[in-house]
Amino acid sequence: MENVEVKDAGKKGKGIFALKDIKKSEQILYFTGKVVEVGNESKYPEHIREHWHPIDKKGDKTVYVLPKSPWMYMNHSCEPNARVKNDRYLIAIRDIKKGEEINIDYSTLFLEGWEMKCECGSKNCRKVISTFDKLSPKNQERLKDYVSSYVKKKYKKY
């Protein structure tokens, strides 16, 4: 899909940016890459772990996609303009202008004790990106329709 390009996103490193105006609900990307079941995440180098995308849980193993698409350069925002749908599609949740950076809320993808400092700069920045279960009830309610099936399966409230 020729909807995006990877380019410099300032202090965030690289990011993905719209090559055209994208309408709300339009598909932006399809995540391609190898699917792996991982029991011991520490066996994988950090540069791989920081970009993989959890899609399922099977017993004590987590199923990830190791992305080959521009997905691996997707940055976080506490006020995202896109979301993951059916674990493999990136969909616009509002109109996105040509040249605008495309981002998601990382909290909609992960559970189980992960966090990092947030530098998204949005008006409603939470300052810390954490897992969905650590979000306030207000933010969980706001984001519940955007969570991955991995989070839905693990966090049975939604």
Residue 60 pLDDT: 78
- Average pLDDT score, the chain: 85
Q: CA-CA distance, 55 to 91, in Å (whole number)?
A: 16
Residue 88 pLDDT: 80
Confidence of residue 61 (pLDDT cuts 50, 70, 90): confident
Encoded amino acid at 128, one letter = V
Beta bridge mates, 38? 62
Read off the pLDDT of each residue in 2-25 and give the average, rounded to a whole number. 93
Residue 53 pLDDT: 67
Whether the pLDDT of residue 158 is over 70: the answer is no
Residue 156 pLDDT: 67
Among 2-6, 21-25, 65-69, the range with the most confident prediction by mean pLDDT is 21-25
pTM to 2 decimals? 0.81
Domains and their CATH numbers in the chain: 4-154 (2.170.270.10)
Whether the pLDDT of residue 1 is over 60: the answer is no
Residues in the chain: 158
Whether the pLDDT of residue 106 is over 80: the answer is yes
Residue 70 pLDDT: 82
| Three-state SS annotation for the chain | CCCEEEEECHHHCEEEEECCCECCCCEEEECCEEEEEECCHHHCCHHHHCCCEEEEEECCEEEEEEECCHHHHCEECCCCCEEEECCCEEEECCCECCCCEEEECHHHCCCCCCEEECCCCCCCCCCEEECHHHCCHHHHHHHHHHCCHHHHHHCCCC
Residue 32 pLDDT: 77
Whether the pLDDT of residue 47 is over 80: the answer is no
Read off the pLDDT of each residue in 97-110 and give the average, rounded to a whole number. 92
Whether the pLDDT of residue 92 is over 90: the answer is yes
Encoded amino acid at 15, one letter = G
